[in-house]
Amino acid sequence: METLLLWLFYITTFYAFIPGLITRIFGYRVFRRGVGVKDYALTFDDGPDPEYTPRLLDLLKEHDAKATFFVVGAHAERHPELIRRMHDEGHLIGIHNYVHKSNWIMRPGTVRKQIQRTDDIIHSITGQRSIYYRPPWGIVNLFDFSKRRQVRIILWSAMFGDWKEKLGAKKLTAKLLSRLNPGEVMLLHDCGRTLGADPKAPANMLTALKTMLEEADKRGLKSIRVDEMIRASEKAREGRLSFGKMLLVWCWLMWEKAFQFMFRLKTVSPENPFFHYRLRSYSGDTIEMGEGSVLKKGDRIVELHFDNRRLFELGVSSRSEAQLAIRMIRYTQKELPDLAEIIASSEELASAKALYGVSMINRGPEKFGFLVTDLPDGLFAKSTRVYLRILLSVIHPSGGNRLKRRADALVPKTMLMPITDLLRSYGKPHPGSLTKSVKHSEEDAELSVTLSDADLPGVHAVH
């Protein structure tokens, strides 16, 4: 019994508590506040409600205010005319599950179905899909992070307890006015028919909101849709990292040091590190490398790793994807001959069968002589994919947008080059291929475009 309780504790902690904690404290993978100068965002949960939502829409129209409605699918299904009116009047419609139930007590597949069903209802009424999602009570679970590829999780910066009627309109008004600031994402409710809410509470919300909107007009503040606030915030924050990302980078770089120490990685150019390597035995499936050469389990390989710190520095200092690609090409062109010389001078390294790494590149490495193959599906491939997506979102000049636009292309793959090919192409006796790639700028341009299209900054040999 004690063992069962302990397992339940662990599952609850990692499935629910820790994800909820890091989203609230660090804002990890959620949007909860903008950086506006004159704009704030009104958001409304739990509707639509046939009594209060029409009155709210009238009030917003009177003040030319736009809002975001996170609707409960079952309520939307019963009142399509209100969803249609929200859409026609220029408001953003988001998802709040089909029923108002906590994600902590639902399996990942159930949550996914709740989101999809609500999105289908919205689409059937408005003709548009929604990618904006607010989980009930703002409670996320571990698997909500993975759904960020399909939906954008929206929380809030200001919550007022307006679902309780006893708060009263006067106290609620004071609370609203105290948080009437640019960049705020305000959470209110236009329906009192969900668990824990009072049916008449939205009446107080409408009274308080009227006063706040009048004050906002006096101050020249405007309520905008969440998607507009996200776009404005991303533009204002270009080139800057949030505290959450800086924390992630710090943890990532600490792991880099620990990994290098534990596995005794060596560096190709210690004074200017870009590639690290180690000799180990291959443990994967058999791979045909061409010309009758086969890599099989137990063969010795030189495993290649990028330097995390250098990768991060290049990513955040590059002005564009093309510039980042070109800079990485230059480093690779310089490091491969140095690596070939190191391997050629070591009998142990030279006895290895292949140079090996794992990358998100789909095209491009072939230009350097690598063979790119699919990574066998399984736990390793899935965990690698999650790791590299997080890495890309941090170091890529437009990593977050790349994840949305090209999620299907961001698949880690195996990169291989027979050691004999490495020594023949980049060793001192035969430097021709390298010299040619450095001298001809048009080839560099072609390669930079190829690698940029293939999300070069997502490249990383897996630790």
CA atoms within 13 A on the CB side of 8: 6
* Alpha-carbon distances, residue 166 vs 173, 199, 243, 264 (angstroms): 13, 12, 37, 64
User: Phi and psi at residue 172, in whole multiples of 5°?
Assistant: -65, -40
Chain CA centroid to CA 304, Å: 26
Two structure tokens written together for 281:
């035995």
- The C-alpha atoms of residue 17 and residue 23 are separated, in whole angstroms, by 10
Contact predicate 230/41, CB 8 Å: no
Instruction: Tell how strand 39-45 and strand 222-223 pair up.
Output: parallel
Query: Is 45 marked active-site?
Result: yes
Query: Is 189 marked active-site?
Result: yes
Catalytic residue among 39, 45, 46, 49: 45
* Alpha-carbon distances, residue 64 vs 60, 89, 204, 222, 238 (angstroms): 6, 10, 21, 8, 29
Amino acid at residue number 425: S
Helix %, strand %, coil % of the chain (to 5): 55, 15, 30
Catalytic residue among 79, 91, 100, 189: 189
Contact predicate 176/160, CB 8 Å: yes
Catalytic annotation, residues: 45, 189
